[in-house]
Amino acid sequence: MSASPTRDDATRPIGQHALTDQVVKLEHLELRVSPHMDRHTAETLLGMRPLEQTEYGLAAEIIRPGQTVVDIGAGSAAWSLWVASLGARVETFEPSPLLCPVAQANLDANRCLPVEFHSRWAVVPSHQGGPVNLALPGHGYDAACVERYPRAGDPDVVPVPWLESAERLVRRIRPDAVFVETSGMACEIAMAIASVRHDRPRTLIARLRPDLEGEQSIRSAVEAIRGLGYSLRLDMPTMLWDGWIFEC
């Protein structure tokens, strides 16, 4: 696979390939590419980016058979299925009413893989913040994010029916690795997971998008996570996506 080495840009449209759903092969996986996906994921699955320089190549390098992996804000569940194909047991969480059908279609097409899907389920930093909503702006899913504050009468906002705090999830599942993809709350969720005193994951992967999280919030989160005992394995300039990888 090949792609030009560009960073994610939420303001740039995905392109002509986003107009209709497509089914692609990612090695032995059959995956649906939907216009509701963010641009990075769609371009990766369509072969427009080198796989080894994305979260898929990272998983092939660090995930081991028999491990338990949690994917928070999993979108189409493509990465979850990829990780399951490496021999891991995966629990995946996605709150979006647009992407849950895509995820379910992908899971149905790859039934042999051990992925437990939690549909319309949001993982949040803590329950103290109250209910949350999913903002789905009309100009594209690239700008979608989970947010705390209700906006009455806004057609771009949908409620999230199921919630679980990051700390409770980690204590309940005791995963070896967690991938946080939740746009708009990824910094807070990653810090909450890193703060768990016992049974926290050895590997914490966070997709921290500057356009939705803010540069200062990302810098603060990275320093906070390092201060909680995690070392930074890899940062943004080395890969074709906005992922940060921490290990302890």
- In the numeric block, which tokens belong to residue 9? 């840009």
Whether residue 32 contacts residue 102, with contact meaning beta carbons closer than 8 Å, is answered with yes
Closest CA to 41 of 203, 211, 243, 220: 243
E strand or H helix that includes residue 85: helix 78-85
pLDDT tens for each residue of 191-222: 999 999 889 999 999 999 898 899 999 999 99
- In the numeric block, which tokens belong to residue 97? 């009413």
Residue 79: strand, helix, or coil:
helix
Confidence grade of residue 17 (pLDDT, cut at 50, 70, 90): very low
> CA 141 to CA 131: how far, in whole Å?
21
Supply φ then ψ for residue 209, to 5 degrees. Answer: -90, 120
Chain centre to alpha carbon of residue 95 = 11
Higher pLDDT among residues 88 and 11, named by residue: 88
**What average pLDDT does the chain have?**
86
pLDDT (0 to 100) of residue 6: 34
Higher pLDDT among residues 64 and 12, named by residue: 64
Stretch among 67-81, 125-139, 181-195 having the lowest mean pLDDT = 125-139
C-alpha Rg value of the chain to the nearest Å: 17
pLDDT (0 to 100) of residue 111: 96
Higher pLDDT among residues 131 and 246, named by residue: 246
pTM of the model: 0.88
pLDDT tens for each residue of 223-243: 999 999 999 986 554 566 788
Confidence grade of residue 2 (pLDDT, cut at 50, 70, 90): very low
Domain annotation for the chain: domains and CATH numbers: 51-247 (3.40.50.150)
Supply φ then ψ for residue 208, to 5 degrees. Answer: -110, 100
pLDDT tens for each residue of 115-152: 999 999 999 998 766 778 888 876 556 778 888 877 77
Classify burial at 17, counting beta carbons within 10 Å of its beta carbon; exposed 0-12, middle 13-18, buried 19 or more: middle
Largest CA distance in the chain: 47
pLDDT (0 to 100) of residue 128: 67
